[in-house]
Chain A
Amino acid sequence: MSNVIILDRVTKKYGSGHGATLALDEVDLAIPAGQFIAVMGPSGCGKTTLLNLIAGLDDPTSGHVVVAGEDLGKLSERARFEIRLRHIGIVFQSFNLLPRVSVARNVMWRLELVGLRGRKARDRTAALLEEAGVPEAAWDRFPGELSGGEQQRVGVARALATDPRILLADEPTGNLDSLGAKRLLDQLRRLNQQRRMVVVLVTHDPHAGIVGSRSIELRDGRVIRDVASPPREVGVVVPFERPHDANG
């Protein structure tokens, strides 16, 4: 079974009766390993709802969500956390870093959750931050002292801490300038290619959309377009000046 994520006739309704909103309407979706999928559509069409259901943060009104072979609806609360911890990484539009602890601690706590301690946790944190391109000078600073782009890179490092098979990103470029946005997208694509990680990217940006190997478009809770796009470079390629990039 190569599909890492399966949505089977998933419907999500908010509220009930007259004022109810149908956020997702019988969505069927199968995402195989290694796919980079861009989810697009106008505001309010159900993109965030879709991600929340995949992450198990919310339950569908009907239908099934299967992640890494597990039907989320049949799992206990504990098991869901386990899945979210080990198999899913989330990158937020507004970064959502813990503001009062250092950048390094922001990444390390997830390692501690999976049982990594002491030196091992520190080394792995360093590797993650380095890989994400966070300058070493920033590791002991607080998130508030970093630029938006840097913060988002910390967010990516945090999401990748437990080496997940799925990365969910809800408009991760929404708060970045165009340069920062392009760097991030490129990084995501590299991750997708190098680790065969499923990336689900929600975006408004048509440029961002074409980064993926597949793009779907939602409207009023339905998938109205689902196309495979040939892997292409992003329109403007910005060279990375990260040190490890040169040897990696």
Chain B
Amino acid sequence: MSWPAIALRWGWEQVRPHLDQISLAIVVIAFGVALAGGVLLANGTLQSAFQDSVDALAGRAEIQIGARGGGAFEEAVLERVRAAPGVAFAAPLLQGTAFLRDAKKTPLRILAVDMLDDASVRLYRATPTGTAGIDDPILFLSQPGSVIVPRAFLVRHRLRSGDSFEAQTAAGFVRLTIRGVLETDGVGLAFAGNLALMDLYAAQDVLGFPQSVTQIDIVAREGADVAATAQAVRDVLPDHLEVEEVAARRERLASSLAGFQLLFAMIAASSLLLGSLIIANRLNTTYEERRWEMGLVRSLGMSPGELIGRLMTEALIVTAIGVALGLPIAIAFAQLVVGPLATAMTLNFRQEVAAPWVEPQIGPLALAALAGLSSGLVAAWLPAWRSTRSRAADVLAKARSRKPEPESAARTRLRLVLPALAAATIALLVGIEAPGGILGGLALAAVGAAGATLVQPCLRLVSGPLANLIGGATGVALDDQSIVPGRALGAATVLMFGCAIVVFVNNTGRSFEHFVVDTTTGVRRSDLVVDSSANADAMGEGEPRLSEGVIAEVGRIRGVDVVAADVAASASDPATGILAVEPVWLRRPEFGDWRLEEGALPDALARVAEGEAFLANFPPDRPVRVGETVRLMTPSGPLERPVAAIHRASCLNPNGDVVMSRQLYKKHWRDPTINRMYVLVDEGVPAGQVAREIRERLADRWGLRVMPGEALAEWFASSVRRGFAIADAMGLLALLVVLLGTADALAASVVERTRDIATMRALGCSPALLRRTVLAQAAAVGFVGSLLGLMVGMGWSVAFMRGIVPLLLGWNARLQVSATVLATAAVLGILASLAGALYPAVRAGRIRVVEALRYE
């Protein structure tokens, strides 16, 4: 026999007796790698999708001009920019969003450049005379709906060059015709391919921004200093325009992403850790079990080096198989979570991040594979190393005596101190008027630590009554578990944190939802709500807009009394949320209550309606009083108005919101679009009839959605929920981990006690009773883990909502708790842990007594 054949044969002979153990290890490793790799991959994919869009849009530009706080600005400044020293060329750009008429209302980013301008040609390589493969440049420019789309867009939507499709814009539906194709490089990479390039002047019409642009891209002259050129441009432009070097902009975008990235990184790191832990625990059990055997082989003359070498080879093979199986699962898992994550990212950045198709990236997958391999090898190496370090005889003897270690006094004290500390901080948080962030942070940490220290005593506490409940000799097994609960303790702790995360994420999501809905609907009472039918999941600034022309048309429908509209935007320096509303809204009390604080000017709402004043809702760190002037930086320069009243009916920006008349907004933001209309119908006219009329006469042309006023709250609530969609992914993850964790821990504890179980059976314990005992252990683990999980989750929620949120967002959102969710989390936790126990239970019942006792 050749050498490899002998080696394989030897390996197989070693592996065969432990085949079930090893196949379990492979499954666990595969899941661990899938968990870690999936999250890392999803993270990487979204990161690069975001980065690609940013980079692709910047093209070759070195300097960019935009309006502070976003929005469109006057095209006329272009002349001044081009004349500035150091500028080689400057290209105007208009960006906007339309929505495809498909089921998902896919956002289509419209990027409009001056197709006749030489500068644009050089910057984007995507013009009639450039490389974009336009069939007929003259036709392209003469027809209004001409677009160039990336190849990926054609593939995804099964279109061909020359086809046309409908897209929904603020002005209703427009027909766009594909007259050119971008190959997938440069700008074609942006927005996951959901991009249409148009001619600037055509787009200004289609998007409803005449003579406006949203960006000017600049390339500096050969040899000119970029920073100096940027300064020169800054000097010739008004204050409300922002001139930024692209490198700096990229950095700023990256740092704006940092918070989200941190969250992601935390999730990815904890998945990696969890995956590694599961793998290490599994392999460690597999090899720990064989320590006696190792001692034996050694006492029969195998050298330590040889023993370690053989074991490591085996562990390497086992882990490699697990990793190889895990990587494809990781990709599938990433695909599963990337959707909710993209939605969360879109809502958090007001920048569409299309859920991209996950492609296997080397980096994240390699990292997960490496983590899997190394944790597997370390886990296998430890027992081998320990068994080679001590004398063979000791190993043989040690394998027999498994006496529990007594608990240290320090640990006992910790079990008292930490819960007390946790309880005290929570009590303080609830009791104190304006608790600080430090207390909140302390409470978060104390609650988590207290939970972890309570697992063991609680397991002990529960075991007794549970044993009585199930009866028979179960008590011994349960005692056994609670005294040296290494495995059970691990399972219960995993369950506790899983449960706590689910409860925490759900509580906070629900509280935010309640807060947002309560705040925003208080002032939005109406019979009917009309907005764009492209409204799919964004809210606020990211929402599809409508042109203001639609207001008058709705107003003319029979039975309509008043139509009010609103639009959400932002101002900069400092960042401030803007809610612009129709003056009539402020004049008619039927629309609801602005929740004005005491001290408001008597005619506050009327003055705001006239455009003479603002309503302000600022956080404590930005104090403002009635009568004081607030200065906002708008796309057309600074805007100052006195505050007529403090209101509490909006929550657009954590830095504070301002309510103003829409007339004022339109002028300063150069934005004639609206988010939504609120309709009051005439006395005695059924709202349903008016809704039908609006649908029949206007809906198709404008792309409208009409819903009863009462439905608005649910729509807002569901938008917030979608923002928290990441919670579902995390819940799923937690459940999976719990299932895996308990299954593995209990299987390990059954295997570890094979001999004890066999003894019990020989002495009259029936398999049914043993099965029940394992299930009872799982029930104890499930009960303790879930219950502590609920407590920790509640503690975290209180600490977060009372201590952290007011600090970060300036909101005093009340904690909203759903008993159903708590109960579901607990029940699912217990069920997951019981489900995880099924296999170990069957295994315990099937242990072959004669054989288990034979090897003495």
Instruction: Count chain A residues whose beta carbon lies closer than 8 angstroms to a beta carbon of B.
Output: 36
Contact B472 A113 (CB under 8 A): yes
Q: A109-B473, A112-B473, A112-B475 are in contact. Are A100 and B402 (CB under 8 A)?
A: yes
Indicate if the CB atoms of A52 and B472 lie closer than 8 Å: no
The interface residues of chain B lying within 8 Å CB-to-CB of A108 are 476
Q: By the criterion CB–CB under 8 Å, are A98 and B756 in contact?
A: yes
- In the complex, what distance in Å separates the CA atom of A142 from the CA atom of B762? 21
Q: Is the CB of A105 within 8 A of B856?
A: no
Please provide the chain B residues from 751 to 794 with a CB less than 8 Å away from any CB of chain A in the complex.
755-756, 759-760, 762-769
Indicate whether B849 reaches chain A with its CB closer than 8 angstroms. Answer: yes
Indicate whether B483 reaches chain A with its CB closer than 8 angstroms: yes
Let me know if B476 and A105 touch, CB within 8 A: yes
The answer, yes or no, to whether B324 is at the interface (CB within 8 Å) is no
Q: Which of A25-33, A77-85, A202-210, A219-227 contacts B (4 or more CB under 8 A)?
A: A77-85
- B479 contacts A52, CB within 8 Å? no
Instruction: From known contacts A58-B850, A100-B480, infer whether A84 and B763 are also in contact, taking CB-CB under 8 Å.
Output: yes
Chain B, Cβ-Cβ closest to A53: B850
The reply on B853 being an interface residue by CB < 8 A is yes
B121 close to chain A: CB less than 8 A: no
- Tell me whether B762 and A99 are in contact (CB under 8 A): no
Instruction: Decide if A101 is an interface residue (CB 8 Å cutoff).
Output: yes
Would you list which residues of chain A between 8 and 65 have a CB under 8 Å from chain B?
A: 48, 52, 55, 57-58
Contacts of B471 in A (CB 8 A): 112
- Rounded to whole angstroms, the CA-CA distance of A105 and B478 in the bound complex is 12
Closest chain-A Cβ to B62's Cβ sits at a distance in Å of: 71
Decide if B762 touches A113 in the complex (CB within 8 Å).
no
Contact (Cβ within 8 A) B480 A110: no
**Partner of A109 from B400, B404, B475 at Cβ < 8 Å:** B475
Nearest residue (CB) in B for A89 is: B763
Q: Which of A77, A82, A84, A88 has the most CB of B within 10 A?
A: A84
A145-B403 in contact (CB<8A): yes
SS of A interface (majority): helix
A99, B402: Cβ atoms closer than 8 Å = yes
The interface on chain B, measured as residues whose beta carbon lies within 8 A of the other chain's beta carbons, has a size of 31
A229 interfacial contact with B, CB 8 Å:
no
> Assuming A92-B853, A144-B402, is B762 touching A98 (CB within 8 A)?
no
- Out of A96, A101, A145, A159, name the residue touching B853 (CB < 8 Å): A96
Q: Are A98 and B476 in contact (CB under 8 A)?
A: yes
Q: Is the CB of A81 within 8 A of B755?
A: no
Question: Is B475 in contact with A57, judged by CB distance below 8 angstroms?
Answer: no
The distance from the CB of B373 to the nearest CB of chain A, in whole angstroms, is 34
A158 contacts chain B at the CB level, 8 A cutoff: yes
B residues near A55, Cβ cutoff 8 Å: 762
Contact A92 to B473, CB < 8 A, known contacts A58-B850, A81-B766, A113-B765 = no
Q: Would A94 and B856 be within 8 Å (CB), given that A105-B479, A112-B473 are in contact?
A: yes
Chain A residue nearest in CB terms to B764: A85
Closest B residue to A94 using CB positions:
B856
A2 CA to B856 CA, complexed, in Å? 35
* Most chain A beta carbons < 10 A, residue from B404, B471, B853: B853
State whether the Cβ of B401 lies closer than 8 Å to any Cβ in chain A: yes
Could you name 21 residue pairs across A and B whose Cβ atoms are closer than 8 Å? A48-B854, A55-B762, A77-B767, A78-B766, A84-B763, A85-B764, A85-B765, A90-B762, A90-B763, A92-B856, A96-B755, A96-B759, A100-B402, A100-B484, A105-B475, A108-B476, A109-B760, A112-B472, A113-B473, A142-B403, A144-B400
Task: Using A98-B756, A99-B400, A100-B483 as known contacts, list a sample of 20 further A-B pairs with CB atoms less than 8 Å apart, ordered by residue number in A.
Answer: A57-B762, A84-B762, A86-B764, A88-B764, A92-B853, A93-B856, A96-B755, A96-B756, A98-B759, A99-B401, A99-B403, A99-B756, A112-B471, A112-B473, A112-B475, A113-B472, A113-B473, A113-B765, A113-B769, A143-B401
**Leading 10 A-B pairs by shortest Cβ distance:** A85-B764, A144-B403, A144-B401, A109-B473, A109-B476, A99-B402, A96-B759, A81-B766, A142-B403, A84-B764
